[in-house]
């Protein structure tokens, strides 16, 4: 059995529900007295399923691809990823931050500046993204007319 820990600070009595892979498992988290609590969730036994759980969304892979080149502000990331709505991009970034793949840095400026970068865990996905690029180029070369 695998588990992953997530640091959260919530208001007293808050219950959070996290759902992955179309509800294949759900975490129930109850926070007591507003303290920092470490949440543990059971991960699938299959390592491929774990990876898919973390990066299965189309936008997450493209976010990883673009952040592998360095830190980006939200607007830069939105332009580089492509035709993604602000809501969907924000949701994916929050999930990736919660999963420990992305770091979000907020600067106390007017207007606020927010930058995103990969964590060490996020950076460790580089070989996977590189393999996807290589495979995609090979496939395109073999199947172009």
pLDDT tens figures, 82-125: 999 999 999 999 999 999 999 999 999 898 899 999 999 999 99
- Which of the residue ranges 44-48, 106-110, 112-116, 127-131 would you say has the lowest mean pLDDT? 44-48
Count structural domains, the chain: 2
- 48, two tokens: 């491929």
pLDDT for the residue numbered 127: 95
Task: With H, G, I as helix, E, B as strand and everything else as coil, classify residue 24.
Answer: coil
Q: How confident is the model at residue 49 (pLDDT cuts 50, 70, 90)?
A: confident
Are 61 and 40 in a shared domain? no
Residue 61 in this model has a pLDDT that exceeds 60: yes
pLDDT at 144 (0 to 100): 82
Q: Is the pLDDT of residue 4 over 80?
A: no
Global pTM value:
0.70
Indicate whether 82 and 34 sit together in one domain.
no
Say how far residue 1 (Cα) sits from the centre of its chain: 22
Same-domain check for residues 62 and 86: yes
Q: What percent of the chain has pLDDT over 90?
A: 53
* Domain co-membership, 122 together with 67: yes
What CA–CA distance (Å, rounded) separates 51 from 44? Answer: 10
Which residues is 127 bridged to in the sheet?
none
**125 falls within a domain:** yes
> What is the DSSP secondary structure assignment for residue 63, as one 8-state letter?
H
Q: For residue 135, tell me if it sits in a domain.
A: yes
Give the structural domain span for 2.
Answer: 1-44
Do 32 and 68 have their domain in common? no
Are 64 and 123 contained in the same domain? Answer: yes
CA distance 141 to 23: 37
Residue from 37, 40, 56, 36 nearest 48 by CA: 56
């Amino acid at each position: 059995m695998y588990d992953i820990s997530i640091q959260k600070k919530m208001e007293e009595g808050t219950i959070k529900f996290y759902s992955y892979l179309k509800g294949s498992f759900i975490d129930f988290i109850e926070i007591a007295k507003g303290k920092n609590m470490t949440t543990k969730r059971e991960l699938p036994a299959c390592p491929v399923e774990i990876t898919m759980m973390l990066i299965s969304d189309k936008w997450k892979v493209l976010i990883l691809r673009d952040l592998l080149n360095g830190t980006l502000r939200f607007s830069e990331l939105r332009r580089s990823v492509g035709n993604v709505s602000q809501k969907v991009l924000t949701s994916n970034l929050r999930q990736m931050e919660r999963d420990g793949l992305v770091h979000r840095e907020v600067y106390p400026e007017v207007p606020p500046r927010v930058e995103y970068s990969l964590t060490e865990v996020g950076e460790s996905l580089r070989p996977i993204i590189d393999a996807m690029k290589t495979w995609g180029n090979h496939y395109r070369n073999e199947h172009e007319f």
